[in-house]
Chain A
Amino acid sequence: MKVLIVDDEPLARERLKMLCQEIDKNFELLEAQNGLQAVETVNQSEPDVVLMDIRMPAMGGLEAAQHLMTIDNPPAIIFTTAYDEYALQAFEAQAVDYLLKPIRKDKLQQAMEKGARLNKLQLEYIGQQNQEVPLRTHISAQVAGSLLLIPIADILCFLADQKYITVKYLKDGQVVETIIEDTLKSLEEEFADDFIRIHRNALIRKNRIEGLHKQPDGRTLLKLLQLDEGLKVSRRHLSAIRKLIKGKL
């Protein structure tokens, strides 16, 4: 069995490794120091079980779990934490597996044997209950069977198609795009601070607006910095966008 240990503290990882080895010498042990690395490692090595700390830099355990849930055959996730009042209450309520640090060997063994799978509803509930969980820092997309994480800060816009949403974002200074499964409505709600709706099918980053251009046919197009094509603005959203641009000047 492959076990991925995710914790930002070296000593915490060390101890978990020792415990795992004692449970079974044949465990293949992998390590990651935060949620981002955890997702990467899951992509590469497809572990069976992830022991996930909650409070970590770059990306916390709850967000990482949220992304991991979207892959086809997600690993079993067991949360480990020293003391997170809110998270613990939520875990209890949803019967999600969690271990309290310092972790006991027998409890760890039990949890591993159970290998309970998380589901999306449980995670959603935990997110709602947990005041300390910040907004997602990344959007995840499945590309060629592995999970791609896109930092929210790099995203220029979300464009809705018939069925999917295209995300245009910057990668090494270049605009690239990928497809995600989500709805514009939920994205708009989640990232209302940084993004604004300009059309039924477009959500754009506020601080990337270059300007509005009136077309000869009366339509208005919005230009984003670094994005060549203009985006259609619907009449309904026009005044809000004008106000936003004015406010910035």
Chain B
Amino acid sequence: MQRKKTDTPILNQDNSKQSSLFLPNFCSLKMVFSVVIIGELLAFILTLAPMRLEHQRWNDLALISLFIQWNGMVGSASLCLLRPVLTRYSNQFAAVVSYLVLLLSITLISEITFFVLQYYSVEEMIASVTHWEFLIHNLLIGGIISALALRYFYIQDQWRVKMEAESCTRLQLLQARIRPHFLFNSMNTIASLTRTRPETAERITEDLAELFRMLFKSDHEMIPWSRELDLCQRYIEIEKQRLGERLHISWQVKSVPGDAMVPALLLQPLLENAIFHGIEPEINGGEVKVIGQFRNRQLVLTVQNSNSQNLVHRQGNKMALDNIRERLITHYDGQARLACHEEDDIYYVKLTIPYIKHDKKDVT
């Protein structure tokens, strides 16, 4: 009983580490089958490669196949046995060790083969080569194939890791764009308004629907500034219901041309941050200021809020800003900037993006 207890965590640990080793599991039947097939294909290539026509070809194929399959099986078996050891080390180390093990197994099998052939006096099979030539020949071919295989496994593993990471970050990206907090708080607001002020509840529901409709569109959607402004104002409407007198907002954005194209919901997360950090932690609330300027064919959007001393939730802030930066890179390829700084207890976030006129949308 006691033994079982101590064993379990160790097993778990091994499982989690095994998934980080780049080599596939050579102990599995599927993998053994693949090795057999690949070995056989290699045997065909080697038989066909010499551009000579001889009737011995089928014999050659049989011997070469036998030799390669032995190598494949011994190699797979060694990697299978070594797996628990290799998982404890880094991928680089595991790769080097596996490569050396494969070369060693090729050497051993070559030696055995050579002596067996000699013993049964089937020398004519290898009559044309000396012992050393035979060994070096095999090692060269085996070395190249092993290297290719390891490289292939490594790239496949990298691809798997990337896929896993991507599926994991997609949710985080969505959360960086709109906080789940906001959704549930809005629902609560609507639930409360439904009885006392049904018309307001109706309007807030519509606003919320519009925001989420846009949110579920692709990351790459571009919309005119006039539309973005409208969405952001709807967002503020919802928050105003919730925070009441505490939220003051001022828009100074008249100079921004309405036909300028911007990535959809680029500004909204900045407003959400400003409210989360600047308004919500304060009893008397505060003001969020949005200033839009248009100069040198660039849009400069500044969001500022009184910065509360409350240092928690910085993590969420960073996530949202990182997400916006990423979107700026994909949309503008380095021609847009996001900068933030703090001055006299005011927190500023400044977005600078190039002006792209509306009708260009059809071209891109």
Interface residues of A (CB under 8 A from B): 8-12, 14-15, 18, 33-34, 55, 57-58, 82-84, 100-103, 131-134
B interface bracket (residues with beta carbon within 8 Å of A): 20 to 34
CB-based contact B311/A101 at 8 Å:
no
Complex: A100 Cα to B196 Cα, angstroms: 21
Tell me which of A18, A100, A102 has the highest count of chain B C-beta atoms within 10 A of its own C-beta.
A102
Other A-B contacts than A8-B246, A8-B283, A83-B185, 8 sampled, CB-CB below 8 A, are: A11-B242, A82-B184, A83-B181, A83-B184, A84-B181, A102-B184, A103-B188, A132-B313
Chain B proximity of A88: nearest CB distance (Å): 11
CB-based contact A12/B188 at 8 Å:
yes
Q: Which of A10, A57, A133 contacts B244 (CB 8 A)?
A: A10
Chain B proximity of A79: nearest CB distance (Å): 14
Using an 8 Å CB-CB cutoff, how does the interface string of B274-311 with A read, 1 for contact, 0 for none? 00000011110000000000000000000000000011
Complex: A101 Cα to B244 Cα, angstroms: 18
Using an 8 Å CB-CB cutoff, how does the interface string of B180-215 with A read, 1 for contact, 0 for none? 110111011111110110000000000000000000
Can you list 7 A-B contacts (CB < 8 A)?
Answer: A12-B242, A18-B195, A57-B283, A82-B185, A101-B184, A102-B187, A103-B188
Q: Which residue on B lies nearest to A18, using beta carbons?
A: B195
Complex: A230 Cα to B313 Cα, angstroms: 40
CB-based contact B188/A132 at 8 Å:
no
Say yes or no: A11-B241 contact (C-beta < 8 A), given A83-B181, A101-B184: yes
Complex: A15 Cα to B312 Cα, angstroms: 28
Q: In the assembled complex, which residues on chain A have CB atoms less than 8 Å from the CB atom of B196?
A: 14
CB-based contact B188/A82 at 8 Å:
yes
Chain B proximity of A153: nearest CB distance (Å): 10
Q: In the assembled complex, which residues on chain B have CB atoms less than 8 Å from the CB atom of A10?
A: 244
CB-based contact A101/B185 at 8 Å:
yes
A-B residue pair count with CB separations less than 8 angstroms: 66
Complex: A249 Cα to B281 Cα, angstroms: 33
CB-based contact A9/B242 at 8 Å:
yes
CB-based contact A101/B283 at 8 Å:
no
CB-based contact B281/A11 at 8 Å:
no
Q: Which residue on B lies nearest to A11, using beta carbons?
A: B192
Q: In the assembled complex, which residues on chain B have CB atoms less than 8 Å from the CB atom of A55?
A: 280
Q: Does B243 contact A (CB under 8 A)?
A: yes
List CB contacts (< 8 Å) of B306-327 with chain A. Answer: 310-313, 315
Say yes or no: A101-B187 contact (C-beta < 8 A), given A82-B181, A83-B180, A134-B312: yes
Complex: A134 Cα to B313 Cα, angstroms: 10
Q: In the assembled complex, which residues on chain B have CB atoms less than 8 Å from the CB atom of A84?
A: 181
Q: Which residue on A lies nearest to B197, using beta carbons?
A: A11
Say yes or no: A9-B243 contact (C-beta < 8 A), given A33-B283, A102-B191: yes
Q: In the assembled complex, which residues on chain A have CB atoms less than 8 Å from the CB atom of B243?
A: 9
CB-based contact A134/B310 at 8 Å:
yes
Chain A proximity of B46: nearest CB distance (Å): 59
Complex: A10 Cα to B243 Cα, angstroms: 8
Q: Nearest 7 A-B pairs (CB), nearest first?
A: A15-B192, A82-B184, A102-B191, A101-B188, A11-B192, A102-B188, A83-B180
CB-based contact B184/A58 at 8 Å:
no
Complex: A83 Cα to B281 Cα, angstroms: 16
Chain A proximity of B173: nearest CB distance (Å): 16
Chain B proximity of A245: nearest CB distance (Å): 25
Chain A proximity of B179: nearest CB distance (Å): 8
Q: Which residue on A lies nearest to B316, using beta carbons?
A: A132
Complex: A132 Cα to B183 Cα, angstroms: 19
Chain B proximity of A33: nearest CB distance (Å): 7
Complex: A10 Cα to B312 Cα, angstroms: 24
Say yes or no: A57-B184 contact (C-beta < 8 A), given A12-B192, A14-B196, A134-B311: no
Q: In the assembled complex, which residues on chain B have CB atoms less than 8 Å from the CB atom of A102?
A: 184, 187-188, 190-192
Q: In the assembled complex, which residues on chain A have CB atoms less than 8 Å from the CB atom of B181?
A: 82-84
Q: Which of A15, A33, A57 contacts B188 (CB 8 A)?
A: A15
Q: In the assembled complex, which residues on chain B have CB atoms less than 8 Å from the CB atom of A9?
A: 185, 188-189, 242-244
Q: Which residue on B lies nearest to A13, using beta carbons?
A: B192
Chain B proximity of A98: nearest CB distance (Å): 13
CB-based contact A11/B184 at 8 Å:
no
Complex: A111 Cα to B188 Cα, angstroms: 19
Complex: A14 Cα to B241 Cα, angstroms: 13
Q: In the assembled complex, which residues on chain B have CB atoms less than 8 Å from the CB atom of A8?
A: 246, 280, 283
Q: In the assembled complex, which residues on chain B have CB atoms less than 8 Å from the CB atom of A132?
A: 312-313
Complex: A10 Cα to B179 Cα, angstroms: 21
Chain B proximity of A140: nearest CB distance (Å): 19
Q: In the assembled complex, which residues on chain B have CB atoms less than 8 Å from the CB atom of A57?
A: 280-283
Chain B proximity of A32: nearest CB distance (Å): 12
Using an 8 Å CB-CB cutoff, how does the interface string of B151-184 with A read, 1 for contact, 0 for none? 0000000000000000000000000000111011
Chain A proximity of B272: nearest CB distance (Å): 14
Complex: A244 Cα to B320 Cα, angstroms: 38
Q: Which of B184, B189, B242, B246 contacts A100 (CB 8 A)?
A: B184
Q: In the assembled complex, which residues on chain B have CB atoms less than 8 Å from the CB atom of A134?
A: 310-312
Chain B proximity of A64: nearest CB distance (Å): 14
Chain B proximity of A176: nearest CB distance (Å): 24
Q: In the assembled complex, which residues on chain B have CB atoms less than 8 Å from the CB atom of A101?
A: 184-185, 187-188
Q: In the assembled complex, which residues on chain A have CB atoms less than 8 Å from the CB atom of B241?
A: 11
Q: In the assembled complex, which residues on chain A have CB atoms less than 8 Å from the CB atom of B280?
A: 8, 55, 57
